[in-house]
Amino acid sequence: MSHIETVEEPVMIQLRNIEKIYRKNESMTVRALQDVSMIVKQGEFVAIVGPSGSGKSTLMNIIGLLDRPTRGSYTLSERDVGELSVDELARVRNQQIGFVFQSFHLLPRTNALENVELPLIYSDRSDFSSLAKEALNTVGLENRIHHFPNELSGGEQQRVAIARALVNDPEVILADEPTGNLDSRTGLEIISIFQKLNRQGRTIVLITHDENLAEHASRIVKIRDGRLVNDKKVARPKDAARALNDGPKEPDN
Amino acid sequence: MKKNRVIKSGIKNMVRHKMRTFFMMIGVVIGITALTLIISLGKGTEKEVMNNIERMFSASNILISAGGGRMMGGPQPGGPTTTLTISDIEALQASIPNIDMWDPMQMIFGREVKYREKSTNLRIFGHSPTAEEVWNRSVSSGTFFTQVEMESSARVALIGEIAVQELFGDEDPLNKQIRIGTVPFRIIGVLEPMGTDPHGMDRDNEIHAPITTVMRRLMNVDYIMSAKLHLRDPEQMDENVDDITRILRERHSLAEREPNDFSIMTPVEVREMVSAANRIFNLFLPLVAGISLVVGGVIVATLMLISVNERTNEIGLRKAVGARARDILLQFIIETTVITFSGGVIGILLGILGVLFMASMMQMPAFVSWQALVLGVGFSFGVGLIAGVGPARRAAALDPVETL
């Protein structure tokens, strides 16, 4: 089933003229983002690509409701988040956004199951254990749920992080350089999980500087010096699962 | 956010970081142990002291001591201690009909007492036969000394139970001969046990003999240290005190401006002294324990603050996945309180062990005051809340953007 863009696909993320300015001191201001407008529809797999300093992290923070734009509007799933209080933003993050970070950010000395349960603590759900197990199954870690992060490989840790991002059934998965700390083969495994999730209908926004990685998405948005400079569909996204099967079998580390 | 969950994870955190938890707890444990011990021991001895006082110094008693200035706080004569005599007291009884009984006292602070090869250093008290009634202490075996023995300065003695153990072991001391200093005495009775008195002296580790014998044969003096008077009608006490003062000043030829060379103590003053002593136990020492709790709280707050600074990643992550500022605040306050509360429980258990230990060593009844437990629990909780608030607020204010 291929994703054909139709006008019926609901809009998940809509950014209009987003600007973010930091004041370093009285005389110096940094324009991290200027006049950024974009739309992400439900079910898309978008990669935002840019070199370091391009503003892609700032953009991710704004999309992820961790930061507010200085100007412009952001509508998430038909709700204008500009008016929301800090507490309300936290709730939206909890329910609608799943984060995956470059350095995994798992709680040390806490096993995989409890790591995945973390977002549930701040929600109204009470069936922690079963939801977390389900999420871990999705990423193929059903046999590792009681392991601690230092007993897991890098790839496995990132998979725990993905399960954590999924556990509240969010509408958007935001991944910030998810393969940055992994070797290329493991990185492919992670990307193949994202592709699988996308095929299941999840909206995924991937931020990276790696063009090669970005080509696994179905749409690439380029950002440089705080502005979007390119936005085009990928005709044939790379298939990470196939690359794994075809490539030389190396031991996972 | 589910509070049970947070409490459980607070406990898990505590167990995971054993070293850090240990150091955080230590101040609280010490403080609460001290508090439990002090309050329990204080209340325990307070009871025993009050019992002793009631027994020895009822509302109908007056104590006259030689030398001006307070005596019961310790030997601190403000004036000559050689002017009070038995005939002084006889004169008082003659002039004040309300005095129906009296007993003079002399004391040697320590003298070597020998039985065969064993020897020990004991306090020697001199009393008259009325002491049995006036001081409400009789013999548990044998007999008290008699008026005849008093008049003849007989070399007879009563011995306390602890002293018996020291000199005689399991042997029966009655009718045996001992030497007090170089003077031989015959034991005619064993004193009733009395325990520790308000000054901290062990009243079972002493010897009583007729005061005349003590004055003439052991001390070679003609004056007494004190006398206890028993009044028929306690209502007349104030009047009697005035009379006593007047008569003694006359007999001692004191000029108008000269201070008394004796002091008179009434039950009112005794109770005041006991309250003052109690103040030490009930106020001052717990204050000291409280200081160590404050120190414990500072330790907790400091270590928690360091922990917060180390855990910025975790805090940022929690906020990213939906924790609000107040969730973070609550989490850290609960983590702190779980630790201090556990420290308090440990402290209470150690305190109870300490009370049992000290009670067996000092042969006192083991008494754990419930006030100590309540205070211990309350304080350990309170310290946790107060110490946790600062670091928790800092944690809650962290911006996830900066930490991630």
Higher pLDDT, A176 or B404: A176
Give the integer Cα–Cα distance in Å for A207 and A178: 8
pLDDT, tens digit, 9 for 90 and up, residues B199-219 = 778 899 999 999 999 999 999
| Burial group, residue B234, by CB count within 10 angstroms (0-12, 13-18, 19+) | middle
Contact B320 A164 (CB under 8 A): no
Give the integer Cα–Cα distance in Å for A23 and A44: 34
pLDDT over threshold 50, residue B24 = yes
Flag the least confident range among A64-78, A218-232, B281-295: B281-295
Instruction: Show contacts of B279-284: CB within 8 Å, 24+ apart.
Output: B281/B38, B281/B41, B281/B42, B281/B43, B281/B45, B281/B46, B282/B39, B282/B42, B282/B46
Closest-CA distance of chain B to residue A171, Å: 13
pLDDT over threshold 80, residue B180 = yes
Instruction: Show the tokens assigned to A235.
Output: 């005709």
Closest-CA distance of chain A to residue B40, Å: 41
Instruction: Show the tokens assigned to B164.
Output: 């018996």
- What pLDDT score does B69 carry? 55
Minimal Cα distance from B326: which residue of A?
Answer: A87
Give the integer Cα–Cα distance in Å for B139 and B112: 23
| Residue A5: band (very low, low, confident or very high) from pLDDT cuts 50, 70, 90 | low
- What pLDDT score does A112 carry? 94
pLDDT over threshold 90, residue A78 = no
- What pLDDT score does A253 carry? 47
| Residue A69: band (very low, low, confident or very high) from pLDDT cuts 50, 70, 90 | very high
Write the CA distances from A74 to A36, B6, B44, integer angstroms.
10, 33, 71
Question: CB-based contacts of A161: which residues, under 8 Å, 6+ apart?
Answer: A100, A101, A104, A105, A106, A115
Of A17, A43, A10, A92, which is closest to residue A200 (Cα–Cα)?
A: A43
- What pLDDT score does B74 carry? 46
Give the integer Cα–Cα distance in Å for B56 and B190: 18
Give contacts of A 105-134 with B, CB under 8 A: 105, 107, 109, 118-119, 121-123, 126
| Burial group, residue B176, by CB count within 10 angstroms (0-12, 13-18, 19+) | middle
pLDDT, tens digit, 9 for 90 and up, residues A118-133 = 999 898 888 888 999 9
Domain ranges (residues) in chain A: 42-69+85-245
The pairing of strands A11-23 and A172-176 is unpaired
pLDDT over threshold 60, residue B76 = no
| Residue A7: band (very low, low, confident or very high) from pLDDT cuts 50, 70, 90 | low
| ipTM computed for the complex | 0.89
In the predicted model, what is the mean pLDDT of residues B80-103? 89
CB B41 within 8 A of CB B358: yes
- What pLDDT score does B71 carry? 45
SS3 B115: strand
Instruction: Show the tokens assigned to B233.
Output: 């009608």
Contact A93 B320 (CB under 8 A): yes
Q: Which residues of B touch A126 (CB under 8 A)?
A: 2
In the predicted model, what is the mean pLDDT of residues B340-353? 91
For residue B19, the surrounding DSSP H or E stretch is: helix B18-56
| Residue B49: band (very low, low, confident or very high) from pLDDT cuts 50, 70, 90 | confident
- What pLDDT score does A249 carry? 57
Give the integer Cα–Cα distance in Å for A135 and A107: 17
The percent of residues above 70 in pLDDT, for chain B, comes to 94
- What pLDDT score does B73 carry? 47
Instruction: Show the tokens assigned to A120.
Output: 């549930």
**pTM listed for this prediction:** 0.70
Q: Which residues of A touch B326 (CB under 8 A)?
A: 87
Give the integer Cα–Cα distance in Å for B375 and B92: 51
CB B183 within 8 A of CB B218: yes
pLDDT over threshold 50, residue B227 = yes
Instruction: Identify the residue whose tokens are 């930091």.
Output: A22
- What pLDDT score does B75 carry? 47
pLDDT over threshold 50, residue A83 = yes
**A124-133, B262-271, B272-281, range with greatest mean pLDDT:** A124-133
- What pLDDT score does B40 carry? 81
pLDDT, tens digit, 9 for 90 and up, residues A189-210 = 999 999 999 999 999 999 999 9
- What pLDDT score does B363 carry? 66
Residue A187 φ/ψ, nearest 5 degrees: -60, -40
- What pLDDT score does B45 carry? 72
- What pLDDT score does B223 carry? 92
- What pLDDT score does A116 carry? 95
Contact A66 B404 (CB under 8 A): yes
| Cβ neighbour number for residue B93 with a 10 Å cutoff | 15
- What pLDDT score does A250 carry? 55
Question: Distance of alpha carbon B383 from its chain centroid, rounded?
Answer: 28
DSSP H helical segments within B311-396, as ranges? 312-320, 325-362, 370-396
Give contacts of A 197-236 with B, CB under 8 A: none
The pairing of strands B61-66 and B226-231 is antiparallel
Chain B contact for A41 (CB, 8 A cutoff): no
Mind spelling out the 3-state secondary structure of chain A? Answer: CCCCCCCCCCEEEEEEEEEEEEECCCCCEEEEEEEEEEEEECCCEEEEECCCCCCHHHHHHHHCCCCCCCEEEEEECCEEHHHCCHHHHHHHHHHHEEEECCCCCCCCCCCHHHHHHHHHHCCCCCCHHHHHHHHHHHCCCHHHCCCCHHHCCHHHHHHHHHHHHHCCCCCEEEEECCCCCCCHHHHHHHHHHHHHHHHCCCEEEEEECCHHHHCCCCEEEEEECCEEEEEEECCCCCCHHHHHHHCCCCCCC
The pairing of strands A97-100 and A172-176 is parallel
Considering only the beta carbons, identify the residue of A61, A86, A122 that sits closest to B321: A122
pLDDT over threshold 80, residue B154 = yes
CB B192 within 8 A of CB B164: no
pLDDT over threshold 90, residue A176 = yes
Contact B401 A61 (CB under 8 A): yes
Write the CA distances from A167 to A41, A43, A99, A129, integer angstroms.
22, 18, 11, 10
Question: CB-based contacts of B298: which residues, under 8 Å, 6+ apart?
Answer: B27, B387
Chain B contact for A90 (CB, 8 A cutoff): yes
Contact B317 A107 (CB under 8 A): yes
Instruction: Show the tokens assigned to A55.
Output: 């503003």
Pick among 3.20.20.70, 3.40.50.300, 1.10.10.10, 3.30.230.10: CATH of A42-69+85-245:
3.40.50.300
pLDDT over threshold 80, residue B240 = yes
DSSP state of B337: H
